Amino acid sequence: MEKQLGYISLGCAKNLVDTEIMLGKLNDAGYIITEDLSNADLIIINTCTFIEKAKEESINTILEAAQYKQRGHCKGLIVAGCLSQQYQEELFTEIPEIDALIGTGAWDRIMQAVEAIEAGNRICIMDNITNMYDERMPRMQTTPTYSAYVKIAEGCNNGCTFCIIPKVRGPFRSRTIDSIVGEVKKLASMGVKEIVLIAQDTTHYGIDLSDDGKPLLTRLLKELVKIDGIEWYRLLYLYPQFFTDELLDFIVSEPKICNYIDIPLQHINDDILRQMNRKDSRHDIETLLKKIRNQPKHITLRTSIIVGFPGETDEQFDELCDFVKRIKFDNMGVFTYSQEEGTIAGARHDQVPESIKEDRYHTLMAIQAAISEENNKALEGVVCQAMIETIEPSDDGTFLAKGRLETQAPDVDGNMYIENCENLTPGTICNVKIEQGFAYDVVCNLMD
């Protein structure tokens, strides 16, 4: 009889890659994926603990999944990921329905957890968090067949005062270029056309591998673009400190690399940046952004911002708003500061009240929405590449295609729509003309 496996992967794309490795091992062991958790013999929840809302979502998801042990087929509930690593004792004690806990470095021991559950035992596996996956490990892709995430490094050395990630993911460590190239070749052979390269700090890649302590991201990209079949490479989480001129020049000159730069800045006020233990000053950031904006072709800029960091004053927030208005980021994620246990910032006594954080969040989001709409309207008439994701019939008998422009990353940015189209298939990369720009989405026509 087939064994049914249900899973939920929470948090970031980096976590999703870990989920896919665990699913690959379980698939090799004969488990079949089911989307209906009530039919699952085994359920895996891969959790996130980055901010308080993520913790709450993880806990609620675990509790909901636990109900299937009473009213479904579930014989085993496995909880993995960052929440497991940080709160292993509390989870095992307070949620007895959990049969196995797997830490951030123990995903490769998923079958040991399954065997323990089958023997009627509860188990907690928290290996050394410096563990790394490589191209030889089985992986079940859960993203669309034409797009995949590739994690080029794990962990972080930055020590931002608001962040718990180094404690649950360990120090920064890079995969070898050969390992990454091997994985991308394998994905290309499976029909993947877009590779999204990720790490906690992607521009930091290779510093721990190079003889001179310099980053190796550009060297890695020069090898990856040689691989047949991959048409788009997208880079996420490019921190400013090691964003070199060489890297910028290669992004601009190489056709396979999307003209899309994601730079998590978090703030712009120098005092706040120092208190966050960020490695860049306002001057450093503005110098880099000026170089990007002065390139011969337009490069889409995305950033992430935290509002309500401890001690943030009205004047410092106003400075942040003025900066955002001037730079006109194409896309921006805004987060209210989350007071995290075990962090330096979390222990401070000058926490900003939740009501003020929420007001600042909505203020900045409104500013960004107006900027995004202005930027998208400015693109009307521009021809660019797009990837088709879905084709659905409309009420009037025509077809509506949804997808992403080269300037839109999966999951975090807006969408592109093409009306009155057919004969397209998901994964097709085609030329489109932008006809209408809105705050987050664009409407296009297919070019001949």
The span from the CA of 258 to the CA of 274, in Å, is 32
Q: How many other β-carbons are positioned within 10 Å of the β-carbon of residue 188?
A: 18
How, if at all, do strands 257-266 and 300-307 pair? parallel
265 close to 301: Cβ distance less than 8 angstroms: no
275 close to 161: Cβ distance less than 8 angstroms: yes
The span from the CA of 408 to the CA of 265, in Å, is 19
CA dihedral 54, 56, 62, 67 (to 10 degrees): -140
The span from the CA of 162 to the CA of 160, in Å, is 6
Residue 124 in marked binding region: no
Residue 156 in marked binding region: yes
102, two tokens: 């797997």
Alpha helices (H) along 191-313: 217-224, 245-253, 270-275, 282-293
The span from the CA of 402 to the CA of 260, in Å, is 20
Amino acid at 66: A
How, if at all, do strands 123-125 and 31-33 pair? unpaired
The span from the CA of 12 to the CA of 50, in Å, is 9
The span from the CA of 146 to the CA of 151, in Å, is 17
54 close to 39: Cβ distance less than 8 angstroms: no
Closest alpha carbon to 163 in 268, 88, 18, 54: 54
Residue 421 in marked binding region: no
Annotated binding-site residues for [4Fe-4S] cluster read 12, 48, 82, 156, 160, 163
Annotated binding-site residues read 12, 48, 82, 156, 160, 163
